[in-house]
Amino acid sequence: MPVLSGASGGEIAQGLAPLIGMEHLVLESRRFPDGEAYVRVPLESIDSVRSENVVLVSNTYPDSGILQTILLLGAIRDVRMGDLSNLKGEGDIDVGNVGPGIFLAIPYFGYARQDKRFSAGESVSARVLAEIVSRFCDGMVILDLHAPEVLQGMDVPIKYVSSMPEIAESLHRNVNPDFILSPDKGAISRASEVANLIGCEFSYLEKTRIDAHTIEHTPKDLDVSGKIVSIVDDMISTGGTICRASDALRRQGAKEVHAACTHGLFTGGALSRLANHVDGVYTTDSLPNPRASVSAAPAIARGLKELIS
């Protein structure tokens, strides 16, 4: 099964291919002078793309990634359908439809946090996005999706996978924490999985988000005095959640505080802010960032094996 990538996902696709015993093919992607995207399945890859099931690794983030993903899926679909007619007369255009078999692996699913209509008239953006990309593929693997419930009942099968086993392994090796903290109720299942895998203590905080840049935690006694603590979340954006949780841990005597997550967005100076609050930051490479030290490929490989079998 060829593992394909375009402008995003190249590194993960490269790591993924050997895990599922397949080749990595890079599709052509560039920009027209006006900024619009151009994608193409290169002539030399057409036979591979038609030969068996294919996986496209592509992020739906930032917004340009959404369009890139849709255009790549459209190009792959046409190639597999045998629709190769073109003005330059390139390629063997007398080929048939090879049928379904396009799988989309999304390391970071953008808009995941707009998973509810918080206010009347809003778009449930996560659902809308999934509805669009699912029209072009036969199944999806999504890594550490913020709240999978939003995608219930989609028309194609979806496997939700998690990098928490790899994050646990990395924290155990690099930090050896005594205590894992979930910075809000939403991260409890992920953070407690890490605590169980490492075999250390666990607790959580209750968080209220005042606005995109301001959060508050309900005060709680945590048994962290003199301990090494890792805060585990699905993503870090502004860093506000981690910084406030770290403040609470330091006030209660934590010796070291580290942060770990799957998706390192690090918006608006988050890394500098975090540097003043935590001793280390660990993320997967679902999004390229300077703290990406854990590969997302093994989790995606697990999901693909299940989805395709």
Q: What residues are annotated to the active site?
A: 207
Q: Is 264 in the site for ligand R5P (CB under 6 A)?
A: no
Three-class secondary structure of residue 276 per DSSP: coil
- Nearest-angstrom CA–CA distance, 279 and 276: 8
- Nearest-angstrom CA–CA distance, 67 and 60: 8
List, in sequence order, every residue forming a beta bridge with 179; answer none if it has no partner.
Answer: 201, 229
Q: Is 237 in the site for ligand R5P (CB under 6 A)?
A: yes
CA-based nearest residue to 296, from 306, 309, 308, 283: 283
Q: Residue 267 contacts by C-beta under 8 Å, 6 or more apart in sequence?
A: 237, 238
The interface region with ligand R5P, picked from 163-171, 181-189, 197-205, 275-283 by CB under 6 A, is 181-189
The interface region with ligand R5P, picked from 42-50, 61-69, 238-246, 284-292 by CB under 6 A, is 238-246
The interface region with ligand R5P, picked from 50-58, 127-135, 230-238, 301-309 by CB under 6 A, is 230-238
Q: How near is the Cβ of 21 to ligand R5P at its closest, in Å?
A: 34
Q: Residue 41 contacts by C-beta under 8 Å, 6 or more apart in sequence?
A: 27, 28, 49, 75, 76, 79
Question: Contacting ligand R5P (CB under 6 A), which of 91, 157, 165, 186?
Answer: 186
Q: How near is the Cβ of 186 to ligand R5P at its closest, in Å?
A: 5
Q: Is 236 in the site for ligand R5P (CB under 6 A)?
A: yes
Retrieve residue 103's tokens. 């799988």
Q: Is 180 in the site for ligand R5P (CB under 6 A)?
A: no
Q: Which is nearer to ligand R5P, 69 or 241 (CB)?
A: 241
260 sits in which H/E element: strand 256-264
CA-based nearest residue to 170, from 270, 284, 38: 284
Tell me the C-alpha to C-alpha distance, in Å, between residue 17 and each of 4, 42, 86, 178: 9, 19, 30, 35
Q: Which is nearer to ligand R5P, 166 or 184 (CB)?
A: 184
- Nearest-angstrom CA–CA distance, 168 and 96: 47
Q: Is 240 in the site for ligand R5P (CB under 6 A)?
A: yes
Q: How near is the Cβ of 103 to ligand R5P at its closest, in Å?
A: 26
Q: Is 235 in the site for ligand R5P (CB under 6 A)?
A: yes
Q: Count other C-beta atoms under 10 Å from residue 30's C-beta.
A: 10
Q: How near is the Cβ of 6 to ligand R5P at its closest, in Å?
A: 26
- Nearest-angstrom CA–CA distance, 170 and 288: 18
Three-class secondary structure of residue 270 per DSSP: helix
List, in sequence order, every residue forming a beta bridge with 37; answer none if it has no partner.
Answer: 31
Question: Contacting ligand R5P (CB under 6 A), which of 29, 241, 284, 295?
Answer: 241
Cβ atoms of 32 and 53 within 8 Å: the answer is no
| Binding residues among 97-126 for ligand R5P as defined by CB under 6 A | 113
Spell out, one character per residue from 23 to 42, where the chain touches ligand R5P: x when CB under 6 A holds, - when not. Answer: --------------------
Q: How near is the Cβ of 237 to ligand R5P at its closest, in Å?
A: 3
Retrieve residue 100's tokens. 């379904």
Q: Which is nearer to ligand R5P, 37 or 188 (CB)?
A: 188
Question: Contacting ligand R5P (CB under 6 A), which of 66, 105, 133, 187?
Answer: 187
Q: How near is the Cβ of 286 to ligand R5P at its closest, in Å?
A: 14
Q: How near is the Cβ of 81 to ligand R5P at its closest, in Å?
A: 39
Count of chain residues binding ligand R5P (CB under 6 A): 14
Give the residues lining the site for ligand R5P (CB under 6 A): 113, 184, 186-187, 215, 233-241
